[in-house]
Chains A and B, each alone.
Chain A
């Protein structure tokens, strides 16, 4: 294995830290991760099967696909049906159901929908197809927003007026506050590692101060996550909530200034709707006025049919709020499976329900 990976998956060190956690853990505590990458890493490595019963891990609204409105997919599908239009998207979105359709369904119907690995691939498509509208579906938190911003700026430089973004980009801290304001009972946040490489760890300081809740920025390897859990347990046991950065090899206090300045140059905050959480003030990112000609939502103002926002019985909203664990949803594994997902938390590879379904079913020895 790559040295970096094997070092952070070393069984001896894992055992040491597990012993340390067991030694100090007395209180019953719940920690929430708000990053899909953490959700997957936790379940994929089997961490829940190793923790003492005093510690419960919950997944929050950390999967960008899961928190996005179904109408975003419906709108993208409607845009795909316009003449001379190419939709470019990260692969995750292809299978996500909208309220009436999905991109995979539209693709099978002959729309030009292409999977890309970066908005810059979308930009290349715009360059190669000057007579077509090329729309990139901008989704994700602070991690992906800067690359969308860079693509818009590059489109400006190259005068690619046929390049657009349909933005569902969001920022994380307002949602972390909204959860606690909404009454979710947790004792600490496992703060998102990727988001924090961009924003810096300091963005969580106000959370610690306002709510007296521990925040530890975490890496993604098993040892990172266990060390983060150790730090949070220690804070709880000594009743000293604070901001700590476990992921110092990637995250600085002030983050990536270049990425932040790109993001701030192109996007401005707007109120945004999150599945499970409703409208959260200043939690969305929309293109600033001077870049409005690249904003697919505002340029095309397309009308589209809407079905119900949530399927009957689907409790994705409660899963995203952390008020229930996936198996507590009545549809989980009976009606809703990765093969036939009802809610977004099951369809996205980083969704809490998908992670539970895939990795956690009765796996105790």
Chain B
């Protein structure tokens, strides 16, 4: 392979997918990885487990609504939960920069402990490395997680049961994590806070309701556009979105307008997208509406046999337009 790694290789889609397909998938073959779900679903004897890992490199490490520790636990817990698994155990690896104040590390670790408890997982193993000043930015955290998964939920991560007619549900307002971090980094004054939260409790309630949930994914990097593009391509169906039904806070919509960002592509850390059969949607919504992290849940789209592989947004003024696969990190516009 020629060339060098640029920031776009880390965007989570586009160049990242190219890297995964041409290098990682080509080199590591085995159950799970080729599905490219949020977790690998593995069988040991007759038991199924979900296994996932994620690394966290956020700058700044403390931001409105969370910190790198909370994020590291939520990220992995959510990847397990959206796969239909019951998250059980986490590992955590720390890469610490020489000079990091212990007080900061203490705050981050306390936050991890608290989040793990809220997410119903135990942190059971870990590793610590220290690198010279300048070799990393304060600290990086890697977490891996194991969850148990019931046979009847193993299809959720690979979307094989999604059909035209299903509805797309989201558990609340979008684009808050990305904009909270960006605002804090650039001293924009506003009240936007990250939605970073463990979704395991909420998802467990939805699964327990017995509703026919056919797909779940947390809409992190690349926002809801990245998840739904992937879903449309994978299932060879089309997705119709309704702009008026996509929950978004005024302040978030306003800041996106100002920066030239499309909120559909901005990162979330506490949002799950679900594809549910139409007749069971009410059941899921009533569970979501009764949960603190699901109060603003909404049916924001439907799966259709039209325009397979692509998403069409019905705009608030009645127009129609494509929602494309994000190409790279969104950059603020010139004017």
- Residue of chain A at shortest CB distance from B324: A358
Contact between A359 and B335 (Cβ–Cβ < 8 Å)? no
Contact between A45 and B317 (Cβ–Cβ < 8 Å)? yes
Q: Does A156 contact B (CB under 8 A)?
A: no
Contact between B331 and A115 (Cβ–Cβ < 8 Å)? yes
> When A5-B254, A108-B4, A108-B5 are in contact, do A49 and B333 touch as well, CB less than 8 Å?
no
Q: Does A291 contact B (CB under 8 A)?
A: no
Contact between B334 and A144 (Cβ–Cβ < 8 Å)? yes
- A5 contacts across to B, CB distance below 8 A: 253-254, 257
Contact between B320 and A363 (Cβ–Cβ < 8 Å)? yes
- Residue of chain A at shortest CB distance from B7: A104
- A361 contacts across to B, CB distance below 8 A: 310, 322, 324
Residue from B8, B254, B316, B318 in contact with A15 in the complex, judged by beta carbons closer than 8 Å: B318
Contact between B330 and A46 (Cβ–Cβ < 8 Å)? no
Interface centre among A15, A43, A91, A364 (most CB of B within 10 A): A91
Contact between B186 and A117 (Cβ–Cβ < 8 Å)? yes
Q: Does A181 contact B (CB under 8 A)?
A: no
| Contact flags B296-310 to A (C-beta < 8 A → 1, else 0) | 000000000001001
> When A338-B324, A339-B15, A361-B322 are in contact, do A46 and B333 touch as well, CB less than 8 Å?
no
Q: Does B262 contact A (CB under 8 A)?
A: yes
Contact between B321 and A36 (Cβ–Cβ < 8 Å)? no
Which positions 59-92 of chain A face chain B at CB distance < 8 Å?
64-65, 90-92
Contact between B324 and A357 (Cβ–Cβ < 8 Å)? yes
Q: Does A360 contact B (CB under 8 A)?
A: yes
- A364 contacts across to B, CB distance below 8 A: 320
Residue from B254, B316, B321, B331 in contact with A92 in the complex, judged by beta carbons closer than 8 Å: B331
- B325 contacts across to A, CB distance below 8 A: 339
Contact between A117 and B332 (Cβ–Cβ < 8 Å)? yes
Q: Does B282 contact A (CB under 8 A)?
A: no
Contact between A95 and B321 (Cβ–Cβ < 8 Å)? no
- A11 contacts across to B, CB distance below 8 A: 316-318
Which of under 10, 10 to 19, 20 to 34, or 35 or more describes the interface residues of A?
35 or more
- B117 contacts across to A, CB distance below 8 A: none
Q: Does B14 contact A (CB under 8 A)?
A: yes
Which positions 1-41 of chain B face chain A at CB distance < 8 Å?
4-8, 14-15
> When A5-B257, A44-B262, A363-B312 are in contact, do A50 and B319 touch as well, CB less than 8 Å?
yes
Interface centre among B253, B254, B257, B322 (most CB of A within 10 A): B322
Contact between B260 and A365 (Cβ–Cβ < 8 Å)? no
Q: Does A94 contact B (CB under 8 A)?
A: yes
A-B contact count (CB 8 A): 131
B148 CB → nearest A CB, Å: 38
Q: Does A37 contact B (CB under 8 A)?
A: yes
How far is B14's CA from A85's CA once the two chains are assembled, in angstroms?
31
Interface centre among A5, A94, A117, A358 (most CB of B within 10 A): A358
Instruction: Flag the segment in A135-143, A230-238, A324-332 that touches B.
Output: A135-143
A218 CB → nearest B CB, Å: 15
Q: Does B327 contact A (CB under 8 A)?
A: yes
How far is B331's CA from A94's CA once the two chains are assembled, in angstroms?
8
- B6 contacts across to A, CB distance below 8 A: 104-105, 107-108
Q: Does A350 contact B (CB under 8 A)?
A: yes
Contact between B335 and A363 (Cβ–Cβ < 8 Å)? no
Q: Does A285 contact B (CB under 8 A)?
A: no
Contact between A338 and B331 (Cβ–Cβ < 8 Å)? no
Which positions 24-74 of chain A face chain B at CB distance < 8 Å?
36-37, 40, 43-50, 64-65
- Residue of chain B at shortest CB distance from A357: B324
Residue from A9, A46, A91 in contact with B332 in the complex, judged by beta carbons closer than 8 Å: A91
Q: Does A343 contact B (CB under 8 A)?
A: no
| Contact flags B247-260 to A (C-beta < 8 A → 1, else 0) | 01010011001001
Contact between A359 and B322 (Cβ–Cβ < 8 Å)? yes
Contact between B327 and A359 (Cβ–Cβ < 8 Å)? no
How far is B333's CA from A36's CA once the two chains are assembled, in angstroms?
10
Return the 7 tightest CB-CB contacts between A and B, nearest first: A46-B319, A91-B331, A338-B327, A359-B321, A143-B335, A339-B327, A46-B321
> Can you list 25 A-B contacts with CB-CB less than 8 angstroms, sorted by A residue number?
A2-B250, A2-B253, A5-B253, A45-B321, A48-B319, A64-B334, A64-B335, A91-B331, A92-B333, A104-B6, A105-B6, A107-B6, A108-B4, A117-B332, A140-B334, A141-B335, A144-B335, A338-B327, A339-B15, A349-B330, A350-B260, A361-B322, A362-B307, A363-B312, A364-B320
